[in-house]
Amino acid sequence: MSNGAGKIRIVNRPDMVVNADFQSLLAENGLLDYERIFRREGGTVVKKIEERSVVRLDLVQDGRPRRIFLKRHRAERPDLGAWIGHGFSARGLSPGMAEFENIRDFRKSGLPTVTPVAAGERRTGPFRLESFLVTEDFAPYVSLERMIREHPERFGGPEGTPWKKRLLSAIGCLAAAMHAQGFNHRDFNATHILIGPGDETGAVSLALFDFQRVDRRTWLRMKWRVKLLAELFFTLPEPLFDREDRQLIYRAFRGAGRIRPVDWFLLLLVERKIARIARHMRKVNARKQADRERGRRIG
Predicted pLDDT of residue 7: 84
Structural domain includes residue 291? no
- The stretches in the chain having pLDDT less than 70 are 1-4, 77-92, 200, 296-299
Q: Which of 136, 159, 176 is the last residue in one of the domains?
A: 136
Structural domain includes residue 299? no
Q: Which of 121, 136, 151 is the last residue in one of the domains?
A: 136
- Percent helix, strand, coil in the chain (nearest 5)? 45, 25, 30
Mark whether 76 and 128 lie in a shared domain: yes
Structural domain includes residue 174? yes
Mark whether 124 and 168 lie in a shared domain: no
Q: Which of 76, 110, 136 is the last residue in one of the domains?
A: 136
Predicted pLDDT of residue 287: 87
Instruction: Determine contact, residues 227/235, Cβ cutoff 8 Å.
Output: no
Mark whether 28 and 120 lie in a shared domain: yes
Instruction: Determine contact, residues 44/68, Cβ cutoff 8 Å.
Output: no
Domain that holds residue 153: 142-281
Predicted pLDDT of residue 6: 78
How far apart CA 269 and CA 260 sit, in angstroms, is 15
Structural domain includes residue 294? no
Mark whether 54 and 146 lie in a shared domain: no
Mark whether 104 and 159 lie in a shared domain: no
Predicted pLDDT of residue 5: 72
- Count the domains in the chain: 2
Mark whether 150 and 267 lie in a shared domain: yes
Predicted pLDDT of residue 83: 46
Exposure string over 276-292, b if 16+ CB within 10 A, otherwise e: ebeeeeeeeeeeeeeee
Mark whether 106 and 209 lie in a shared domain: no
Mark whether 131 and 174 lie in a shared domain: no
Predicted pLDDT of residue 89: 46
Predicted pLDDT of residue 92: 58
Gyration radius (Cα) of the chain, Å: 21
